[in-house]
Structure 1
């Protein structure tokens, strides 16, 4: 399965997930900054269905501050009913758009990380696929993860995903399940408790709080 097929399947899985949630679950704070579960879903839909003139206008109005414009677009998209958001994500599951710099691995990583931003606070199993986790881990440490991982965060450390046979880097070790390594690399401090090794303390110092979208 190539990365585009992985992306399409993850979009459909996310649509199924959100469609299964009740109103209280949709209002639950996610792991992603101040966003609710539904607003995270709004972001995922906006990323594929909101690439139009209105998205660019928001970017201009926010002085080309991407995080701020992105948050506003997600919130606006999240005003729609959850069923409509799920339908939009399914409709665009196979959208061929490839974002600059981060490419398809960035899209896959966005889906996997934000999927966990939804599932973890709700106590739902992640069921992430090892091959997809490897793609995201390679992407996050590969130098193209603009907006995902500051370059200095993984520098000088060795990361080991103990459940998928993946490793990268040299120096004090940071090891644990692939899902936890992925989340910690992207700034989710909640995953630090699942990591071990003599590099964890230094790694933790490089992750600010609170988490950002």
Structure 2
């Protein structure tokens, strides 16, 4: 796909559809994001629906310019919203069109895919992002040799079990494309696997 933005919308809609039919306690299940429940992940990705650029700048200033502080604060506040509000925000055209500053459509796709996997892998549910979107993000992360999230791929060979893609040489790490994306994003999989930081 030349323009990845349509994949962003499909990923968020898929996540909304999954959570709309899931048990209520699913929202309070742990995600792959350390310390965040599913509801925190949803609150995080939908932040662009709730904040204008001016409001974002104000919140960033209040956080002392630390995006991690801002992100955690906004996720905590957003997680307290009614589930129906968060589902509506996942389906919002504003979210589907949003692009991170300097990241463009590719950055928006990575954000959507990685965080959707934070939910689906943790819940042991099928991936909601289109297969092509997951492969595109996987290519981005492997082409960067793990540097985006500070992963050390020296002596590591990645093998996707759902495609013929292979990267690197050394100790073999196998998994479906979504699991490899999560590993390259610094996540620990439910089976305990992780990749070393550089």
Task: Check whether TM > 0.5.
Answer: yes
Change (3 A) 1:180 1:32: same
Structure 2 Cα separation of the partners of residues 119 and 17 of structure 1:
9
Q: What TM-score, normalized to structure 2?
A: 0.83
Structure 2 Cα separation of the partners of residues 145 and 173 of structure 1:
15
The answer to whether residue 197 in structure 2 is matched with residue 206 in structure 1 is yes
Change (3 A) 1:51 1:187: farther
- Following TM superposition, by how much is the alpha carbon of 1:172 offset from its aligned partner in structure 2, in angstroms? 4.3
Q: What TM-score, normalized to structure 1?
A: 0.78
- Segments of structure 2 that go 5 or more residues without pairing to the other structure are none
- Following TM superposition, by how much is the alpha carbon of 1:144 offset from its aligned partner in structure 2, in angstroms? 10
How many residues align structurally?
A: 197
In the alignment, is the contact (CA less than 8 A) between 1:98 and 1:104 conserved in 2?
Answer: yes
The RMSD of aligned alpha carbons is: 2.8
Structure 1 Cα separation of the partners of residues 33 and 24 of structure 2:
19
Matched position secondary structure for 1:69? helix
In the alignment, is the contact (CA less than 8 A) between 1:180 and 1:192 conserved in 2?
Answer: no
- Following TM superposition, by how much is the alpha carbon of 1:159 offset from its aligned partner in structure 2, in angstroms? 2.3
- Segments of structure 1 that go 5 or more residues without pairing to the other structure are 195-202, 208-213
The answer to whether residue 172 in structure 2 is matched with residue 181 in structure 1 is no
In the alignment, is the contact (CA less than 8 A) between 1:162 and 1:175 conserved in 2?
Answer: yes
1:7-46 paired onto structure 2 within 5 Å: 7-46=8-47
Structure 2 Cα separation of the partners of residues 90 and 7 of structure 1:
11
Structure 2 Cα separation of the partners of residues 181 and 39 of structure 1:
22
Matched position secondary structure for 2:162? coil
